Structure 1
């Protein structure tokens, strides 16, 4: 019984340490998706841009459209940013590119039943997904 208690305690400690290290791995001021794509869009994936922000992929089930937005950690002076989205296997990307204070995008593509590739940049930092997302 004593051995069981020690093993259980050690297991609980490992779980707690794993949870703390996972929580500590994300920046305290991490960018979050704030509904920039509009009503009915739900986040389906995201990629961090280390020390700068993140890129979010969303989907609207009723319209069959995907949307991408690139969001900074902190609003500030305008910096080069972009958000990019395309139907997988096509050559035409939809891109919003320029100098922005808070976010680039949203950009939209009809993709019901198709795969998309997506990504974004903030001031030279890259976050492009090399896999595709399919709906």
Structure 2
């Protein structure tokens, strides 16, 4: 084998290694993004309020919501609920340091009502995603 063939094989091997490393970093970043809020799918609404924010995600007819505290760290009362029209709300309420939820419901093509709270401050969406 001549030195040109050896260089080509080494260059090809380095390119394959670099591509696999880039793919591994991309896959790890995607997995992190999917679990950061605890909800799958794409974010369709952000509902900010004085002491926090409620993020709403949708994926194949499922609606998921999570409420994050604006100032995490100390334990405080938080809640998040998702109600598909015609059903009872699914609620996560308790004393948390960072977030309440995620809460997921199978909404199909029905409207949903999202509520979130941190401390005494709340947010309510009204019927959305109809």
- The interval holding the TM-score normalised by the smaller chain is 0.5 to 0.7
Report the Cα offset of residue 77 of structure 1: 1.1
Match of residue 94, structure 1, among 90, 97, 105: 90
Tell whether the 8 Å contact from 2:69 to 2:99 is kept in structure 1 after alignment.
yes
2:54 is matched with 55
Q: How many residues align?
A: 97
Which of these two proteins has the greater Rg computed from alpha carbons?
Answer: 2
TM-score (norm 2): 0.68
In structure 2, the gaps of 5 or more residues are: 1-34
2 CA distance for matches of 1:65 and 1:130? 18
Give the alignment of 1:17-96 within 5 angstroms. Answer: 35-38=36-39, 40-50=40-50, 52-61=51-60, 64-90=61-87, 92-96=88-92
Greater helix fraction, Structure 1 or Structure 2? 2
Which segments of 5 or more consecutive residues in structure 1 lack a partner in the other structure? 1-33
CA RMSD of aligned residues (A): 1.8
TM-score using structure 1 length? 0.66
Q: Secondary structure at the match of 1:113?
A: coil
Tell me which stretches of 4 or more aligned residues in structure 1 moved more than 4 Å.
Answer: none
Counterpart selection for 1:108 from 80, 104, 107? 104
Alpha carbons 1:88, 1:132 under 8 Å: kept: no
